[in-house]
Amino acid sequence: MASVEKRQTNRGAITYIVKWREPDGKHRTKGGFATKKAAENYASKAEAALIAGIAFDPNAGKVLFRDVAQHWLESRKVDLKETTWRGYDYALSPAKDRRGDGKTLGIDAVFGGYPLNKITRRYIQAWVQRMVDARKKPSTVRHAYFTVRMVLAQAVADNKIAANPADYVKIPGEHSTNGGKPGVVDDPAQFLSAAQVSALVAAAPWPYNVLVHVAAWAGLRAAELGGLQVGDVLIPAKLLNPNAPAKLGAIRVTRTVRAIGSDMRYFPTKTKGSNRKVPLRAATTELLRDYLTMHPRADEPTAALFPNLSLAPAKPTGVRATAPNGEPDNRDHKYVARRQATALAELTVEEAEARLVLDWAEPLRHQTFYKAVYRPAVLRANRAATAAGDKAASLPPELRFHALRHTYASLCAAVGVPVREVAKFMGHATTTTTEHIYTHLFDTDDHTDAMAALDALDQPTPTGNNVIQLHG
């Protein structure tokens, strides 16, 4: 056990010393404590180490969070998928390499230069609250928090600190838009009508109008769309008989694509259930048939179906971009992205297509597509709808790309596609997943048909004049 003793210096000052014994039997002493409380706190840490059977290192807690985080990150290479590991690597990257509020709210900015023993539960809770106040998505807050907690848990396991200060921190739940069950998609703005889909497709420049159409009418994830290759499009040959019903095509989903630094790399799909063959409606089949006739590498099965892109520079005006107050525009990247999308939305579809520099040798980088094509297309579609007075074609202003996947589920549900088929088409692991996410789309409590069938069994027996009465 550790003990605290009072000592008086030659000058008459009172100090305290702590004595304890290591697990190997060696006696240790630490002095210089000005107060008894400080000595007792130190003694309690020494006792905790003794109980755990480890040597007490008084300097362990002085190591910086940043250094521990890097050791933790390296240790996780053996058990994490590369894409998952890259996500943690980015979350823990230096503040100077982050953009926007990542420079002030990012993990390294908040914890990197702090010694472990200076990080408290209250400090972590305040950081979580700052992220919430900054209107970060619950999933973003939770991912950042759990990353910090895992790093600190490793510090506990390595005897750097006695307890994890991230324990018992309150974090936002993964609630739906209307405050319902976690993971449930119940925001009407996430589901488009067929007319809205057509308006969005019409507002996107080629070849990405084809991608938008496929996203809404086949339900693929963004990474799955980027991972498609020419050989994944299964289009049957045209029939010789014009009176015969057309054969429908399908899309084979077996891979995704991710950006690793400046490179685009293929990876397996999200889960085993994500490997699938998605049937296509007739219009989508013909659209892809025509698209492949214009694809410059259509005879190469492993060529990317949708090309990567960059934007050709706009003609210079000679005027430096300024903020509304006339000062040079140095705002955060989100503001710059919105400003770019607004400017591109002012172009016609033909003008937008002319700005595209297509790279058919590389799969599509979704982030570039989203900023340079998708967001401008949403704004362009709304401008067209307003000009035409067509409210039915108007889109939610902040429509996200993943909403096209939700739209596919709603379109399938609207025409009565069984939930088990929708789950298969969308690559969900189980039907339960589909029912949970889209609980309001599939009314499992509607038993009208079954009850009507039971009613039919209880119809009155018809009688006629040919019925012989046996009893008068």
Q: Helix (H, G, I), strand (E, B), or coil: what is residue 218? A: helix
End-to-end CA distance of the chain: 107
Q: What is the pLDDT of residue 295?
A: 98
Candidates 1.10.150, 3.30.1490, 3.20.20, 2.60.40; CATH matching 62-157: 1.10.150
d(CA 19, CA 28) in angstroms, rounded, equals 6
d(CA 402, CA 424) in angstroms, rounded, equals 18
> Which residues contact residue 23 at a Cβ distance below 8 angstroms, ignoring those fewer than 6 apart?
50, 53, 54, 55
CB 442 within 8 A of CB 419: yes
Domain spans of the chain?
A: 3-58, 62-157, 188-314+328-437
CB 430 within 8 A of CB 423: yes
Torsion, Cα 62 65 66 72, to 10 degrees, reads 110
Q: Where are the alpha helices (DSSP H) in 295-393?
A: 333-345, 349-355, 366-369, 375-388
The DSSP line for 22-91 is -TTS-EEEEEEESSHHHHHHHHHHHHHHHHHTS---TTGGGSBHHHHHHHHHHHGGGTS-HHHHHHHHHH
For the chain, the C-alpha Rg in angstroms (whole number) is 32
Residue 10 to residues 7, 15, 34, Cα–Cα distance (Å): 10, 11, 15
d(CA 205, CA 356) in angstroms, rounded, equals 9
In order along its 472 residues, the chain shows pLDDT tens digits of 688 888 888 888 899 988 877 766 778 788 878 888 888 887 777 776 665 555 555 665 678 999 999 999 999 999 998 878 988 999 999 998 887 888 999 999 999 998 998 899 999 999 999 999 998 988 899 999 999 999 999 998 888 888 899 999 999 876 544 444 556 777 888 899 999 999 999 999 999 999 999 999 999 999 999 999 999 999 998 877 888 887 899 999 999 998 877 889 998 887 788 899 999 999 999 999 999 999 999 999 999 999 999 999 876 655 455 555 555 455 566 778 889 999 999 999 999 999 999 999 999 999 999 999 999 999 999 999 999 999 999 999 999 999 999 999 999 999 999 999 999 999 998 898 898 888 888 866 667 777 888 888 877 666 556 555 566 5
436: its two tokens: 């949970």
Sequence-separated contacts (24+) of 69-78 with Cβ below 8 Å: 69/107, 69/108, 69/111, 69/112, 69/151, 71/154, 72/150, 72/151, 72/154, 75/154
Residue 333 to residues 101, 274, 339, 437, Cα–Cα distance (Å): 9, 33, 10, 32
CATH for 3-58 is: 3.30.160
CB 270 within 8 A of CB 190: no
Q: Is 244 exposed, middle or buried (0-12, 13-18, 19+ CB in 10 A)?
A: exposed
Q: What is the pLDDT of residue 194?
A: 96
d(CA 177, CA 138) in angstroms, rounded, equals 11
Candidates 1.10.10, 1.10.443, 1.20.144, 3.40.50; CATH matching 188-314+328-437: 1.10.443
